[in-house]
Structure 1
């Protein structure tokens, strides 16, 4: 199967590299050509050229707006037998519409939200939440298995991106709330390692207490994850989703305020873990560590695609 990959930034580059390491040739396209070569892929001159030479096309892009722009170049090359897998975090209603457009050309379209973050992508151990036809997923599975440890078929078109938004909302809520708690612990003069040990043995345990803050309190912000801008985008997509579903969302105010604050205070393009510094700024200049570790607070480099851990 000839493999094409569009969007080889933070997450896409790591996934593409897994495919290359498994011994497959990958044709890649990114707004930064160096991202393609860094992943070990062969650069394509355009999206159209890439699609014409691929049996399966993987997309890892920042949002539905970018996905739709890429589709304008992809759809003229769509044909029977082609599989397109969208690994982005996107609006489910846009996904369903694009699914219909591609189906009219005989092209299968899978929405495959990812979770596990940069570390899992590096190791090929991501979790995928897939929407679309079972037959298309089974044809795509040998490629998806190259960078994932878990693949869940969540339902028809749009289901994968819907589950992804549900997951990312919980992820954002836990991160924002834990950041607030840790700033409070610091101001209270508590030993932060002890606080985390207590939380992780108690009912407050969550992904952030287990995997993020043990590093953050040492000054390591785990660069390579979702930026504050992308996290805020995901929470807004969740709010739009539940509004369409008629679901009350009183708990969305917290992460919207926290990541909006981080953007406003200059952390827009830094990893979302720096939300703790934004809250610290408003709390008297609190930092959980004495000095950043080497590489901490480095902005994410790439074409803006999503996700870690995190993610996600």
Structure 2
């Protein structure tokens, strides 16, 4: 069995690290809030006092955090992974949804350290992470993917290879921007249906099963109608805004100026401005209600 470092024990990281523990690997975990890691310690993980300590002597290092700032702290902070004395060829597997610029910078830093870097953002909800049913969007050398495959197959049921480093993140940013657009469009449609006096439960069901349906619409439209934006939050407004912003910045990097994406960013920024940062992403409907009313 391998020694694995897993850094970032949030809703997704808990499930992913748990799968690696259950597979029999020696898993060393680090999280900025120690308490969140304790359930994994009870399952057999070793709690490290820093990312560097977790990564020491590891065969593979996984990171699953919220944004560029957190990723930089894990990899390049004073006690970050790259400050440790690591074996050449150690797998460096970054699973977070990050900006394309930071992924390029990080991959170069990892290469300079002699690590085998893998661009590996994921899709799926926490229950998929806990059951090893995630889908991975991979970017990197084929040899690195082959070496990482035994670990990747534990945390996922599907691995999609998009090409060199950065291509997995490119696809993740594209699909997350599209998801943001779908959520905002569903919210706007429901506000319009509400003004029309339609049965919103029926509208939500019809949207999810009709031609405009998508997994995002199917899941989020009923939640918007129920209005329970603070209960069992799986993905907050803060993180939806971040993903939308990163997706737009990548499009701008490619010389594009997405108009629908920009309007969507404004919608989630409005929800943030209204104080909904920790509410579910579905709370965008209330921000739109205020601004669409005449």
Q: TM (normalized to structure 1)?
A: 0.85
The answer to whether 1:155 aligns with 2:163 is yes
Give CA-to-partner distance per residue, 1:138-195, whole Å, 9 cap, x none. 2112112222111111111111111110010001000011011112222322112321
Residues 110 and 137, structure 1, Cα contact 8 Å, conserved in 2: yes
Which consecutive segments of 4 or more residues in structure 1 shift more than 6 A?
none
TM-fit CA distance, 1:75: 1.3
Matched residue, 2:151: 143
The 1-side partners of 2:208 and 2:98 are apart by 32
The answer to whether 1:5 aligns with 2:6 is yes
Residues 79 and 105, structure 1, Cα contact 8 Å, conserved in 2: no
Matched residue, 1:297: none
Matched residue, 1:75: 82
Unaligned 5+ residue runs, structure 2?
A: none
Q: Aligned match of 2:265 in 248, 256, 279?
A: 256
Unaligned 5+ residue runs, structure 1?
A: 285-312
Q: TM (normalized to structure 2)?
A: 0.90
Residues 234 and 280, structure 2, Cα contact 8 Å, conserved in 1: yes
The 2-side partners of 1:19 and 1:186 are apart by 46
The 2-side partners of 1:144 and 1:220 are apart by 35
Q: Provide the secondary structure at the position in 2 that maps to 1:12.
A: helix
The 1-side partners of 2:207 and 2:225 are apart by 14
Matches within 5 A, 1:1-312: 1-39=2-40, 40=43, 41-72=45-76, 73-77=80-84, 78-221=86-229, 223-282=232-291
Residues 248 and 262, structure 2, Cα contact 8 Å, conserved in 1: no
Would you say how many aligned residue pairs link Structure 1 and Structure 2? 284
What RMSD over aligned residues (CA atoms) do the two structures have, in Å?
1.9
Q: Provide the secondary structure at the position in 2 that maps to 1:225.
A: coil
User: Whose helix proportion is higher, 1 or 2?
Assistant: 2
Of 83-92 and 220-229, the range deviating more from structure 2? 220-229
Q: Which has the higher contact order (CA 8 A, sep 6+)?
A: 1
Residues 36 and 42, structure 1, Cα contact 8 Å, conserved in 2: no
